[in-house]
Amino acid sequence: MLDLATDCDFNILSEKNPIKGFRCVREDLNAFFSEDALRYKNELLGITYFFTVKNSEKAICAYTLSNDSIQVHTLSGSRKKTVEADIPRSKLMKSYPATLIGRLGVSEEFSNGGIGRQLMNHIKASCILEDGNRCRFITVDAYNENDVIGYYTAMGFSMLFSSEEQEREYYKRKHLKTRFMKFDLMPLYRVLG
């Protein structure tokens, strides 16, 4: 099994360091990483990171992070309580800082080899150790598909809304292509910090 920490190189997307050889099962992700990710960076909308096999340019996985927040002042009482459960002086806060996983993909060639789990563990640790504890939560608008929701749930993420109906009502949409999920970094911070 490939190990991201020892068998791979960590990269930050730039004009001089593009993503090469990346192909996952989702065409929209392939298009984003090859065509739009650099524009997102240049417009200060998000930074894309990727891993390559050591001594190779072949991309194994890629992800984009942006700043985000959870706006609790607009949530119903029960949803607000799930976010504020262990936060001191929570009544003073209208929102909580978060890091948004805007895009995340694993190359087809390396799928089903534990790379997705390793990648998520890397993202969580980097939010705590490398980014200077700048946020409490990681958020994602996960594709509203069983395998995608299952992946994020297995990684410790939970739905902000208790039902799809409640989320549709909140966003005033008839259909949801994505579901808003969150991961509380505090328990991990207590272990790693």
What is the structure's pLDDT at 90? 67
The more confident residue out of 131 and 46 is 46
CA distance readout (Å), 119 to 147, 151, 152, 170, 178: 17, 12, 12, 31, 21
Share of residues in the chain with pLDDT > 70 (%): 97
**H or E, element range at 51:** strand 47-53
- 95 lies in which domain range? 4-192
DSSP state of 77: H
Residue 50 pLDDT exceeds 90: yes
Helix (H) or strand (E) holding 80, with range, is helix 77-84
**Total domains in the fold of the chain:** 1
What helix, strand, coil percent values describe the chain, rounded to 5?
40, 30, 30
Could you report the per-residue pLDDT of 122-147, keeping only the tens digit for each? Answer: 999 999 887 666 789 999 999 999 99
- Cβ partners under 8 Å of residue 62, min gap 6: 13, 19, 22, 33, 37, 48, 49, 50, 51, 103, 104, 105
CATH code, domain carrying 158: 3.40.630.30
Cβ distance 94 to 72 under 8 Å? yes
Percent over 90 (pLDDT), the chain:
67
Q: What is the pLDDT of residue 141?
A: 95
Question: Tokens 């524009």 — which residue?
Answer: 39
pLDDT at 87: 82
pTM score of the predicted model:
0.92
Average pLDDT taken over every residue of the chain: 91
Better-predicted residue by pLDDT, 40 or 82: 40
Query: Average pLDDT, stretch 44-59?
Result: 95
Burial class (CB in 10 A: 0-12, 13-18, 19+), 94: exposed
